[in-house]
Amino acid sequence: MVRATAALLGACFLWNCPAVADTRIELGGGIHLRWIAAPQPTFVLEGVPHPSTTAPQAYFEIVSRPDESSDVRTQPAMLGRYEVQGNTIRFTARYASRNRAGYVVRIGPALQRVLPTGAPATIPIEPGEQKTAPTARVTAVYPSADILPENLLKFYIHFSQPMSRGRAYDWIELYEGDRKVEMPFLELGEELWDPQQQRFTLFLHPGRLKRGVRPNEELGPPLTAGRQYTLRINSSWQDANGLPLQSGYEKHFTVGPPDRQQLNPEDWKIETPRAGTRQPVAIVFNEPLDHAMLERVLVVKHQTGNTIDGEIQVLDGETRWEFAPAVPWKTGTYFVEVAANLEDLCGNSIARPFEVKLQDRVAANPQTRIAIEFIVK
């Protein structure tokens, strides 16, 4: 029987191992496992002879520690990324176990073949007492304006580091004064995060925004023009390592009239840079537009069709878009290509307004992109 120990300040038995920043577990045969708690849960298997680079999951998988009713042998493995280098296999989990419940390392057949007889098939890891100070915080909420339209479609909540999944709607509330607004949000089963899990998309319920739809007729819109609201984010929201936010966050805003007009690029102004400089080309909009889409759906191209590399900035309350090239501009004709699905704060796009009948959407058959020309001299 292999005697498995973990090197902490001293040694502890494998099956009762409190977690610290870096836990080392001896498996025998010169092979050991390290568990690194932060900034992302990481499991490093070292000393593996000639590990496979095509199937590293055959050596071990990580599962979130199950409750008493679950079987660790059949529980789905956690999502994450494997890396193989030399005799080391590293697994970085996409996010921490929920509520810091701990982990189980499930030994795979490839690792069992090289471990001594009697080595454990599973290795539980207990987080132990949490002594790490919270570091995650809300860095921004968009739209950034203090006056928002009555039919606002969504918020974007930005965090300083990756956050946990699964309970986002538990930590967000909307208040009108001291009164909590009931059921203002569209609570999706699959939460909407960016790939880094640092931007959460929060929709107000579209059924309450569209006129003539039952939720709108029965409950009314979640926001009312002329009133003041607060979007509250609870500090108990956990980051990817199971730690709460440093503090809660509040966005205060006043509601203005609704906006149901389709976007018209003819209302925009373009500012042209000079040749030989890295001055940005800028588009100034007549109203705030969707922050995330402004970072994604506008592309600068030369008249030859080549895409220009550079950096985008969204400024002035999402009413100004700037693009600075990676190298100085050359004289010539350029275009800013804009996807026709670019939206304002209420879901109205270049292609169509937000409130449009299905048959009108089919009949319109809108173009997918528009091109705004500018000449660099």
Per-residue pLDDT band at 20 (split at 50, 70, 90):
very low
* Residue the block writes with tokens 């936010």: 245
Residue 7, pLDDT above cutoff 70: no
Per-residue pLDDT band at 370 (split at 50, 70, 90):
very high
Where are the domains positioned within the chain?
5-125, 138-256, 265-376
* Residue the block writes with tokens 């026709």: 340
Please, are residues 221 and 151 in contact by the beta-carbon 8 Å criterion? yes
**Sign of the alpha-carbon torsion through 7, 11, 17, 21:** negative
Range of lowest pLDDT (239-248, 293-302, 342-351): 239-248
The mean pLDDT value for 111-121 works out to 86
Is 138-256's fold the same as 265-376's?
yes
Please, are residues 46 and 26 in contact by the beta-carbon 8 Å criterion? no
Distance CA 139, CA 309 (A): 27
The mean pLDDT value for 16-41 works out to 71
Greatest pairwise CA separation for the chain in angstroms: 78
Residue 19, pLDDT above cutoff 50: no
Distance CA 14, CA 44 (A): 16
Q: Give, in words, the CATH class of 138-256.
A: mainly beta
Q: Name the CATH code of domain 265-376 (choices 3.40.50.2300, 3.20.20.220, 3.40.50.300, 2.60.40.1220).
A: 2.60.40.1220
**3-class secondary structure per residue, the chain:** CCCCEEECCCEEEHHHCECCCEEEEEEECCEEEEEECCCCCEEEEECCCCCCCCCHHHCEEEEECCCCCCCCCCCCCCCEEEEEECCEEEEEECCCCHHHCCEEEEECHHHHCCCCCCCCCEEEEECCCCCCCCCCCEEEEECCCCEEECCCCEEEEEECCCECCCCHHHHEEEEECCEECCCCECCCCCCCECCCCCEEEEEECHHHHCCCCHHHHHHCCCCCCCCEEEEEECCCCEECCCCECCCCEEEEEEEECCCCCCCCHHHCEEECCCCCCCCCEEEECCCCECHHHHCCCEEEEECCCCECCEEEEEECCCCEEEEEECCCCCCEEEEEEEECCCEECCCCECCCCCCCCHHHHHHHCCCCEEEEEEEEC
Range ranked top by mean pLDDT from 126-130, 183-187, 255-259: 255-259
What percentage of the chain exceeds 70 in pLDDT? 82
pLDDT of residue 12: 35
Distance CA 216, CA 213 (A): 5
Mean pLDDT for all residues in the chain:
85
pLDDT tens digits for range 236-292: 999 887 889 999 999 999 999 999 999 999 999 999 999 999 999 999 999 999 999
**pTM score of the predicted model:** 0.69
Which candidate, 225, 300, 299, 236, places its Cα nearest to that of 260? Answer: 225
